[in-house]
């Protein structure tokens, strides 16, 4: 298996950010990743992984939290 293959498989994956993802990072397949973005990130945002690097995952917000719902 080529180096970085596991990370590359994460591209395109969408998930909802939890408060702990913003402070501790997010875990996939038992590996913790730091998140990077050109946009402000908030708990409750739906994000998509757009790139991977040695520094972590780059995500883009595809949907903000629903208004009227509590976010952590």
pLDDT digits (tens, 9 = 90+) for 3-60: 566 688 999 999 999 999 999 999 998 899 999 999 999 999 999 999 998 889 999 9
pLDDT of residue 71: 46
Cβ–Cβ < 8 Å for 22, 11: no
Architecture of domain 5-65: Beta Barrel (2.40)
Q: How far apart are CA 50 and CA 60, in angstroms?
A: 7
pLDDT tens sequence across 58-70: 999 999 887 554 4
- Domain extent listing, the chain: 5-65
pLDDT of residue 46: 96
Q: Residue 21: how many CB atoms within 10 A of its CB?
A: 20
pLDDT of residue 72: 43
pLDDT of residue 1: 41
């Amino acid at each position: 298996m080529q180096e970085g293959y596991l990370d590359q498989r994460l591209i395109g994956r969408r998930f909802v950010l939890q408060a702990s993802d913003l402070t501790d990072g997010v875990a996939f397949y038992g590996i913790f990743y730091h998140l990077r973005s050109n946009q402000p990130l908030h708990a409750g945002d739906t994000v998509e992984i757009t790139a991977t690097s040695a520094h972590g995952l780059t995500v883009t917000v595809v949907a903000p939290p629903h208004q009227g719902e509590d976010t952590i």
